[in-house]
Amino acid sequence: MLGNERMVIAAAVCFLAIFAGHSSIAQEGGESRGYQEGFSMAQIATSYFEKGEGQPIILIHGWGDSKETWRACADILSARFHVYAYDLLGFGKSTYPLGAFTIEAFVGQLERFIEDRKIACPILVGNSMGAQIALKYAVDYPHEGSKPPDIAGLVLVDISGGSKTTEAFVATSSKLAGCANALHGVWEEKETRSAVHAALLEVMFNDDAVTPALEERLIDQFRTPQGRQAMLWTAKQFRYDQTSSFSGFAFVRGRNPIRTDASGKVVAPMLVLWGAQDPWFPAESVKEIDGSMARYKAYKSRIIEGCGHLPQIEKPAEVCNAIMDTFAPESGKKD
């Protein structure tokens, strides 16, 4: 066990050395866009961007994706919130500690990111696997009655898992994992490009949402051995089809992810959003979650029409309006 820990630490140190020159925050895209980008240096190099001022909100992407999936939402939410989005371990531009692709490791990364950036009481928003990470953080760090509470809210967008997981997801994720499992380090770009294109057409409700830029961004994950390893190991660690329902996630076990203060007043509501045409984890999964959360106050769900598994890409305004309705009702909606 100690040997494995030393391997992880050694890998993290190597990547810190690589990214040491990027430890300061750099502007990208000009002041008109208002983005700041950089690397959080708490033990591992976590690539992130931030934008806006006000209540902190952290956006967490899913498997095979990156922080870029949240750009459109960040543009909208930054009018009311201080928005952060970051790359998960081994994805996008974040570093790759050996053996780190468990949900516990991803939750640990989130905890360290919050501590490193000194983010006080954020709202957590996760899509797909990112929603699992946000949920586990919420139940692992309950601190109910703490002053201030550790999170201000939880938003789960098309959370992966549950008994409704489709064969389409199993087949497509297996195909993508196969592309990542390049034998002898030989990566087949043509096969990967075809698999990514097919996966996007499947997962999106609107074909015009599948842009060349989006395809290239997802293919980039496969271009390095480290990126392929992240895809493959994460696919092995996350067992999406072995949870019978929302409450069936082993790490929930009846614990309440909704925060209350010492007096019992709700300080961190929970919102579930779902693409009506999600082909991997169907919207009927919301009924399971509603049933599990019925006894809790300050919980609500909303199904978003006209989008698949990635509402933040296909319907960013609807996603942001739902978030603002819940956490910033005085804010104006975006069309």
Q: How does residue 250 score in pLDDT terms, banded at 50, 70 and 90?
A: very low
Alpha-carbon distance of 199 to 32, in angstroms, equals: 34
Q: What is the pLDDT of residues 260-278, one digit of tens each?
A: 655 556 667 889 999 999 9
Backbone angles phi, psi at 284, to 5 degrees: -65, -15
Count of CB atoms situated within 10 Å of the CB of 165: 20
Give a yes or no: residue 220 inside a domain.
no
Give a yes or no: residue 198 inside a domain.
no
Pairing of strands 123-127, 55-60: parallel
Give a yes or no: residue 318 inside a domain.
yes
Give a yes or no: residue 195 inside a domain.
no
Give a yes or no: residue 189 inside a domain.
no
Q: Are 269 and 324 in contact (CB under 8 A)?
A: no
Alpha-carbon distance of 227 to 63, in angstroms, equals: 11
Give a yes or no: residue 22 inside a domain.
yes
- Give the domain CATH number at 298: 3.40.50.1820
Percent of the chain whose pLDDT exceeds 70? 71
Q: Are 11 and 98 in contact (CB under 8 A)?
A: yes
Query: What's the pTM?
Result: 0.83
Give a yes or no: residue 113 inside a domain.
yes
pLDDT given at position 240: 53
Q: What is the pLDDT of residues 34-52, one digit of tens each?
A: 666 666 555 678 999 999 9
Q: What is the pLDDT of residues 102-134, one digit of tens each?
A: 888 898 899 999 999 999 999 999 999 999 899
- When pLDDT is averaged across residues 304-330 and rounded to a whole number, the result is 94
Q: What residues make up the domain containing 276?
A: 2-166+239-327
Amino acid at 38: G
Count of domains observed in the chain: 1
Give a yes or no: residue 226 inside a domain.
no
pLDDT given at position 65: 96
Pairing of strands 55-60, 266-268: unpaired
